[in-house]
Structure 1
């Protein structure tokens, strides 16, 4: 797509008054010196007129000089207008929804310097629905309230090659109110995660659009759908810190310790992971079933379970290990607490609250859960497929630009309930 350049209109040259002598009277008169012509305006659009078989994720590229874009009007074959908005910086105009397969569209763009206007038009048609589509999912639900460490996680049913990741990432839009900066990080070819340099501010409204329907994803494959969600971050910052040294969980609310409770972590043969995790899912009751898996085989009913990793580490009620809690580690990797403490945690925490485990000697594996916060900001931004703006490389100097991400419903992928116990 074309770069969109805006040039400030040259300042109008002030009239220069030059004294002249009148032929009739000899008295001097004043006349304005000729002013230079205003700079020429240019406006170019892509796709070029009559292009065919474009993806339904097509955007309108705009290159303009000596003017700024005033209006963009896109209409389908029946004359119905398609809403959309300019990208930050104006490199292109993005429709608010994916276009229709085998559709025909016309576009008219007008730019102006405040006195003169220039208009250009183009038209194009889109491709038929592709047979090879990559499934997409987003871990964010409309109207839910999450903890301050909730990342935005988008997953894919197939590997996205490195050559296609920049284009895919460019179609992932996030806005926050109040504005906070953020960057996407590819945890793997099947998962990309978004976070800010610091935890979200309590009360933040988070709006996301994974505008991936029809986006080329390499190997003749295309994204299956657009997914949107608007959610809220909790009004309080709740953090859990688990120390193996004293085998206690400390709970902090807005930086103040409000509770400490004994815990039993993973035994030597099945240690708990050390690192900063995020509560991924909460289930008041569930079944932990490891039959058919390596190691111990069991199927047990569990209450007040909160998932921390895909590998099966949870915080949960474990009345059978109350005598060990605070004294020794006996679990298969989970954080065992008493029934009463499990209920209290379940009632006070959110999906998205951070849980930091210290001192187990086993490092949390990247991607084993929502692990975006288990790395420094400097490390995190290295995982972006797009250039990171200079002001986001230094967290204290960053600012968020608006993006074309209207709020709407989400279609998240739900985590499975399987895990370990005791």
Structure 2
């Protein structure tokens, strides 16, 4: 019977074996031949293999144990300096907290203790590859350090060029999320590979601390690229705020902790430049910004606006619009933005946070995947289908049950984000 050490790690998703080179070395056991009544040492195999060369700097110390559990892991560089590492959730590997250095030699020593008390210690030495000549894929982590976000804040990583389908599992293994208190979730890719989102089945609980690491520096990605950087950020979730905008009534409802605190008249996009319907997330907040739409379809104007909150990459904002206050609550006249009064926009800036959910309904067009942080615009059942790795059984949707006879049946951020809104 195979037993593996179960230790809490960085990632909340269940990961499969890491990207490491195969191979193993001879074992050192506590006894040459188990005698009657003597503790039997466990079997232990490690990766990378001993004396492996050209190992990527994203290498992890893989450990497979039969008949015991890991009780000690030591990783040192060629100068004897200890390298900090943390275990994956399934105990299959230890992940260095920072990328290894190119063309350096490392030694890993792992000890496993058997069910009856015997021990096995294995040691491997490997050398990392030289700095690759392949160009890096540019990654952007939309989750900053030491911030307070809304309860709908997805962890978003964008890629340029997009990640090919066959490389997404390797990339996803190197994306780690830890929540305190624990609130497990999973990653989900846009179909074109330009963005990947992390969220839980439900909105984050206020007060949750989220730590993110995108450990991509030096990771081989497909045949032509490598990862560009290793980034980390830790932030917390603030109070629950949500906005609901109904085109039928031309009203915005503002909720805090589930209670309606204000209704605000709005003017949305006119028929030629409609506002999108769907679930959006506040991405940016600007006390003042300039919309420059020269050269864009239905654009051609430059205007300064105050108290603007971005909702999409395509240029849909909520902002103060004193020029349309006579139309607000009555008719849609904007270029796709949500126009509210200057006083209401100033008040709303003090209520909302980046990461708050904004839901629009009843407009002429639907929100397109990837036009903003659209992780909440699909059901959880659909969201988990976008993972490139197996999803933990507790997070997978329940299988559809065939009713008994007679039973009653119950995309991609733009390189330069547009500011077409007005």
Query: Under TM normalisation by the shorter chain, which class is it?
Result: 0.7 to 0.9
Cα deviation code 1:263-309 (max 9, x no counterpart): 00000111100000000001111110110112231011111110000
SS in 2 for 1:341: helix
Aligned residue in 2 for 1:123: 125
Say whether residues 1:144 and 2:144 are aligned partners. no
Selected match of 1:190 from 189, 194, 218: 194
Assess if the C-alpha contact under 8 Å between 1:7 and 1:65 holds in 2.
no
- 8 Å CA contact retained: 1:205, 1:230: yes
Identify the residue that residue 334 of structure 2 maps to in structure 1: 331
Q: What SS class does the counterpart of residue 343 from structure 2 fall into?
A: helix
- Give distance in 1, aligned partners of 2:59 and 2:299: 52
Say which of 384, 388, 408 aligns to 1:381: 384
Q: Name the counterpart of 2:22.
A: none
Matched residue of 1:78: which SS? coil
Residues 1:175 and 2:173 aligned together: no
* The one of 240, 261, 274 aligned to 1:258: 261
**Aligned pair in 2 of structure 1 residues 5, 221: CA closer, same or farther (>3 Å)?**
farther
- Over the aligned positions, Cα root-mean-square deviation in angstroms equals 1.9
Q: Per-residue displacement from partner, 1:138-174 (whole Å, max 9, x unpaired)?
A: 0011100010000000111212111110010011110
Q: TM-score, normalised by structure 2?
A: 0.86
Residues 373, 301 of structure 1: CA spacing in aligned structure 2 closer, same or farther, 3 A cutoff? same
- Alpha-carbon contact 1:67-1:111 (below 8 Å) kept: yes
1:110 aligned onto 2:108: no
- Number of residue pairs the alignment of both structures matches: 376
Do structure 1's residue 232 and structure 2's residue 236 form an aligned pair?
Answer: yes
The 1:74/1:374 distance shift into structure 2, 3 A limit, reads: same
Q: Whole-Å Cα distance in 2 between the matches of residues 111 and 47 of structure 1?
A: 17
CA spacing shift, 1:416–1:142, aligned 2, 3 Å: farther
Larger Rg: 1
**1:97 is the counterpart of 2:101:** no
Partner of 2:281: 278
* SS across alignment from 1:271: coil
**Given the superposition, is the C-alpha separation of residues 51 and 7 from structure 1 closer, same or farther in structure 2, using an over 3 Å criterion?**
closer
Contact 2:41–2:117 (8 Å) recurs in 1: no
Match of 2:23 in 1: none
* Post-superposition offset of 1:347: 1.2
- Distance in structure 2 (CA, Å) of the matches to 1:297 and 1:7: 62
Question: Does the 8 Å contact 1:273/1:364 carry over to 2?
Answer: yes
How far off is 1:348 after superposition? Answer: 1.0
Alignment of 1:286-305 (within 5 A): 286-305=289-308
Q: Distance in 2 between matches of 1:303 and 1:417?
A: 18
Counterpart of 2:420 in structure 1 is: 420
Structure 1 residue 36 displacement after superposition:
5.5
**Residues 215-236 of structure 1: per-residue CA shift (max 9 Å, x gap):** 11112311111000000110x2
